[in-house]
Amino acid sequence: MKGARVLGLLLLAVLCACTHESNQDIAVVQIHGRACPNCAEHLTIWRSGAISELTWHGLSGQNARVAGDAIDSLPLDELRQANPPPPFVGPATFASIVVSYRDGRYQQVPVPVDPGMFAGTRRLSQWMNTFAFEATEVLMKDRWRVLADAFRRGSFRAISLEARGCYGWCPIYLATFNSNGTATLHARGPRCDMRAKAIVRFRRVLDAVRSGHAATLRPAYPIQAVDTFGARITLTTAHQVFISDGPDSTSWGPEFLATESRLDQIVRDTKWSPPLDIPRCSGAPQKLRG
């Protein structure tokens, strides 16, 4: 009983100490989860101006203005008063903010992605939406700028989609569409290993990926589940190759899903020579084809 009382007093002391922390005492802020459609999912913002993404491909950048604005404008009053979300709310509607102070203390709270979900965290949600995107833009601006310019100029040499299968009957193929109108397809599976060619109007492919917002594709998407369908999209210009790796379809952003779906539809609509039955090649039972 005495030990529990001491522990309670220690926790109360730590909580009281945290209430006196100011924005100037913040060393690092992290945002875990997707705060906006094109935002990175695991961002770290340092007071030094460094911004990084805590994923296996490890993007990093430097922008003292964005980092300073993010840390100085974080609404600590709402952060301290934020309550855990109700149990009926799905995790996809929340992200998490972790604030680390110079003295080693930290706070972590779940924050609704939608600023209108809870009145008590409206400013926190708005802050998270704004600075998750600005931090992502610091990491991605060069890639986004070059891709946007390539779409504007129409300077792509080739666009490819690799369907990487799953534990089941998902397709496995590599389709490449070249700017001269030629296309190749290599389909593999338990029942085939075939190559085919076709003529595909490149403008159709460009329009498909543009409408899928492929200019905002990320270099890689995280793995959150195993045995799920995966894909890889490659955009090739005269001087650079941009790969977007999505090994787990459950973590794709809307831009990857839309681009992959449009390219896959072109693959299925194309008359390949020799003809290829992609569902059959993937091993799908007869009743699942078509």
Whichever domain contains 241, its CATH number is 3.30.1560
Backbone region of residue 242 per phi and psi (left: phi > 0; alpha: psi in -120 to 50; beta: other values): beta
Of 110, 144, 178, the position where a domain reaches its end is 144
In this structure, are 230 and 117 located in the same domain? no
Among residues 97, 119, 144, the one where a domain terminates is 144
Task: Tell me how far apart the alpha carbons of residues 66 and 125 are, in angstroms, rounded to a whole number.
Answer: 17
Positive or negative, the Cα torsion across 135, 141, 147, 150?
Answer: positive
pLDDT of residue 50: 96
DSSP assignment of 194-234 equals EEEEEE--HHHHHHHHHHTTGGG--SB----SSS---EEEE
pLDDT for position 15: 46
What backbone torsions phi and psi does residue 26 show, to the nearest 5 degrees?
-80, 130
From first CA to last CA, the distance across the chain in angstroms is 69
Are residues 166 and 138 part of one domain? no
Q: What is the pLDDT at residue 278?
A: 84
Structure tokens at 236: 């090739």
Structural domain ending residue among the three candidates 81, 112, 144: 144
If asked whether residues 168 and 217 sit together in one domain, one would say: yes
Q: How many CB atoms lie within 10 A of CB 13?
A: 10
Closest CA to 35 of 110, 100, 142, 89: 110
User: 219 lies in which domain range?
Assistant: 154-288
> Per residue of the chain (290 residues), what is the pLDDT tens digit?
444 454 444 444 444 445 578 999 999 999 998 888 778 888 999 999 999 987 756 688 999 999 999 999 999 999 988 766 555 455 568 899 999 999 999 999 999 998 888 888 899 999 999 999 999 999 998 899 999 999 999 999 999 999 998 888 889 999 999 999 999 999 998 878 999 999 999 999 999 999 999 999 988 888 888 889 999 999 999 889 999 999 999 989 899 999 999 999 999 999 999 998 888 887 777 654 44
Query: How far lies 288's CA from each of 169, 249, 279, 282, 283, in Å?
Result: 9, 20, 8, 11, 10
Token pair 């903010």 is found at: 97
**Distance (Å, rounded) from C-alpha 245 to C-alpha 211?**
19
Sheet with 241-246, edge to edge strand ranges: 192-199, 182-189, 172-178, 156-164, 231-237, 241-246
Do 99 and 209 have their domain in common? no
Q: In the chain, how many domains are there?
A: 2
| Statement: the pTM of the whole predicted model exceeds 0.85 | no
Reading the block at residue 225, the tokens are 């589940």
| Long-range residue pairs from 154-157, CB within 8 A, at least 24 positions apart, any chain | 154/206, 155/237, 155/238, 156/206, 156/235, 156/236, 156/237, 157/236, 157/237, 157/238
